[in-house]
Amino acid sequence: MEILTRPVPDAPLDIQPRVLRRIYAARGVTDTVQVERSLTRLLSPVNMPDIEKAATRLADAVAQNEHILIVGDFDADGATSVALCMLVLQALGSQRVSYLVPNRFEYGYGLSAEIVALAEQQSPDIIVTVDNGISSHAGVERAQQAGIDVIVTDHHLPGEKLPGAYAIVNPNIPGAAFGSRNLAGVGVAYYLLGQLRGELRRRGWFNEQRQAPNLARYLDLVALGTVADVVPLDSNNRVLVHQGVARMRAGYCLPGIKALAEISKRPLARLTAQDLGFALGPRLNAAGRLEDMSIGIQCLLATELKQARSLATALDELNKTRRQLEQAMVGDAELMLAAHQADDNLVGLVTYHESFHQGVVGIVAGRLREKFHRPVIAFADAGDGAPDELKGSARSIDGLHIRDVLDGIATTHPGLLIKFGGHAMAAGLSIKRVHLQRFKVIFDKAVRGATDSAMFSAQIVTDGELGVADMNLEVAQLIANAGPWGNGFPEPSFHGEFALVSQRVVGEQHLKMALKLDGGVVDAIAFRQQPLPQSTRRVRAVYRLDVNHYGEWPTLQLIVEYLEPLP
């Protein structure tokens, strides 16, 4: 394993301590304004495409008591987006607002013509998509034919042609001048709802009986959806996430989020963005992966903690099932891919088995990407609705834009991809089952043409070595409070060589250690790590500083992410 240190450009940052200044500079921070997290630092909505047009139409719908139907996606971003729209529209005075989320196993993703046909049974006047819609040409056309206006709010990358919706609110459409292209779907929806509130205020809609809601109270949903969707945490997203997490820590959050934190054994008062991504988000996602996202939305919309706890418990059980499926699928896929790697030395990996679960292939692709350090697509059967099709989920490596790769394949091999969409690091696609072997060859060739061998080297990038003087509880707490950390703004990690003082297994599969550096001894833990040989005296470790709250007083602990014995 090659361990690299992030380059630290010269940056005139007036930040203490020195180690935090170094961390920020390595993440491209050149001015302390970039790390301010006040709501006043949020970008103005003025340059968001179609936002005024969409807000005006929604204001008409609210004022005229029209039926607004929210059509969401079946992941955590989609669920939080739906819940946000439901709660805020009702708070703004909408009397007729409902939601519809496609079951991924029956209808697939997005505003399809079939979903619009189902929506027509509710007789909506207007459909608002959240976290989807940018590729929904047939669905938008069907809605128009039925006399239903469609407002698309999405953050996914568009194709060559945009759907003919009434309005499209998406910072990623060509020519958009909005300052952040990294908003999650829930972030786009939040901006539109803020614009809608402003439009209603200009119309004199609010009075003593109907007061304008404070939209900051809903930032818990925005933070959860943003982190769970793993969008890059640019400065604008960091403001949204920080403010949402701060409200959760203070107890100002929805009963559903409180219940998810409880079932995840994450104390609200110490909640972090990492907890949203690795504990709350997966439990919410489990509903959409295995059954129906409606249970997750119901949890977020629960008005009483008792009801929310019951729903959160159900989500937790689904998540346990998901983990079991994931473990079995990853094991099977690793065996299949290892055999092919030995024979063919593939760089673009594709795996499929008839037992694979459609809702879990995305996680499996991610695990395989980590193991093989190759872009991976995992396929599963599309289901009874399309017995001759496979649905795949792709995960990429740094430097390879996976959606662009799929777009290139679609261009050079017309008809091979039934549909596709996504981001730089993740995408989804559908193909005919009979084309699987052909697709494997084409995908591997496409990846080879867009990469070089250096991109496939297993590397860990850290913030360098840390002296014993900075390896203390105070610095750990400063780093913890300096986030939020996440995709695009990674949590600080360090590397170094230590003397191994002691080691023991805890919790059946975790390695607890005492490590010594320059005379100082510190506790460390490596999760899912086998014991080192008893002869080991020194180790190389990649680690994060952590505040361990187990016990009467907080103590410093190293969370070891990579460990190897030294000769």
Residue 383 confidence (pLDDT): 81
Name residue 430's amino acid.
Answer: S
CA distances from 244 to 48, 134, 169, 224, 489 (A): 22, 27, 23, 8, 17
- Return the closest-CA partner of residue 240 out of 171, 170, 188, 169: 188
Highest mean predicted confidence (pLDDT) among 95-104, 414-423, 442-451: 442-451
Summarised one tens digit per residue, pLDDT across range 62-108 is 999 999 999 998 899 999 999 999 999 999 999 999 999 877 777 76
> 344: pLDDT confidence band, cut at 50, 70 and 90?
low
- Return the closest-CA partner of residue 190 out of 398, 43, 304: 43
Residue 81 confidence (pLDDT): 98
- Token digits of residue 312: 């959160």
Summarised one tens digit per residue, pLDDT across range 260-288 is 999 999 999 999 999 999 999 999 999 98
- Is the predicted pLDDT of residue 478 greater than 80, yes or no? yes
Q: Please give the order of strands across the beta sheet that includes 389-395.
A: 349-352, 376-381, 389-395, 426-432, 417-422
Average pLDDT of the residues in 392-396: 95
**DSSP-based three-state secondary structure for 461:** strand
Average pLDDT of the residues in 300-314: 97
Least confident of 162-166, 331-335, 436-440: 331-335
Residue 11 confidence (pLDDT): 67
Q: What pTM does this model have?
A: 0.90
Percent of the chain whose predicted confidence (pLDDT) is above 90: 81
Average pLDDT of the residues in 231-248: 96
- Token digits of residue 538: 């020194």
Summarised one tens digit per residue, pLDDT across range 495-514 is 999 999 999 999 878 999 99
What pairs with residue 254 in β-bridges?
A: none
Find the DSSP H helices in 93-228: 113-120, 137-145, 185-202, 219-228
- Return the closest-CA partner of residue 271 out of 179, 26, 279, 371: 279
Summarised one tens digit per residue, pLDDT across range 536-563 is 999 999 999 999 988 789 999 999 999 9
End-to-end CA distance of the chain: give it in Å, rounded. Answer: 15
Distance CA 563, CA 210 (A): 59
Q: Which residue has the higher pLDDT, 424 or 252?
A: 252
Instruction: For the chain, give the number of residues.
Output: 567
**DSSP-based three-state secondary structure for 567:** coil
If you average pLDDT over every residue of the chain, what do you get?
93
Helix or strand run (H / E) with residue 171: none
Average pLDDT of the residues in 194-205: 97
> 342: pLDDT confidence band, cut at 50, 70 and 90?
low
Residue 541 confidence (pLDDT): 97
Distance CA 452, CA 513 (A): 39
Category of 316 on φ-ψ map: left (φ > 0), alpha (ψ -120 to 50) or beta: alpha
Question: Is 2.60.120.260 the CATH classification of the domain at 345-456?
Answer: no
Q: Taking a C-beta distance cutoff of 8 angstroms, is the pair 41, 239 a contact? A: yes
Is the previous residue joined to 102 through a cis bond, with omega within 30 degrees of 0? no
Q: Taking a C-beta distance cutoff of 8 angstroms, is the pair 234, 180 a contact? A: yes
Residue 341 confidence (pLDDT): 61
Average pLDDT of the residues in 404-432: 92
- Token digits of residue 236: 């604008």
Give CA 174 to chain center in angstroms.
23
Q: Taking a C-beta distance cutoff of 8 angstroms, is the pair 25, 42 a contact? A: no
Distance CA 80, CA 89 (A): 14
Q: Give CATH for domain 43-315.
A: 3.90.1640.30
- Token digits of residue 521: 């001894």
Q: What sign has the CA pseudo-torsion 315, 321, 327, 332? A: negative
**Radius of gyration, alpha carbons of the chain:** 24
CA dihedral 278, 281, 282, 288 (to 10 degrees): -160
Summarised one tens digit per residue, pLDDT across range 17-58 is 889 999 999 999 988 888 899 999 999 999 999 999 999 999
| Domain locations in the chain as residue ranges | 43-315, 345-456, 462-566
Q: Please give the order of strands across the beta sheet that includes 68-71.
A: 97-100, 68-71, 126-130, 149-153, 167-169
**DSSP-based three-state secondary structure for 153:** strand
CA distances from 43 to 56, 181, 182, 189, 216 (A): 20, 12, 12, 14, 15
CA distances from 214 to 56, 355, 379 (A): 20, 48, 44
Q: Taking a C-beta distance cutoff of 8 angstroms, is the pair 357, 380 a contact? A: yes
User: Cβ atoms within 10 A of the Cβ of 410, count?
Assistant: 17
Distance CA 372, CA 334 (A): 9
- Return the closest-CA partner of residue 464 out of 2, 1, 3, 14: 3
CA angle 173, 232, 237 (to 5 degrees): 85
Helix or strand run (H / E) with residue 501: strand 494-506
Q: Taking a C-beta distance cutoff of 8 angstroms, is the pair 200, 52 a contact? A: no
Residues 6+ apart with CB under 8 A from 423: 156, 157, 402, 403
Number of C-alpha atoms within 13 angstroms, CB side, residue 189?
Answer: 34
CATH architecture of 462-566: Beta Barrel (2.40)
CA angle 320, 325, 331 (to 5 degrees): 130
Average pLDDT of the residues in 424-435: 92
- Is the predicted pLDDT of residue 210 greater than 70, yes or no? yes
Average pLDDT of the residues in 218-226: 98
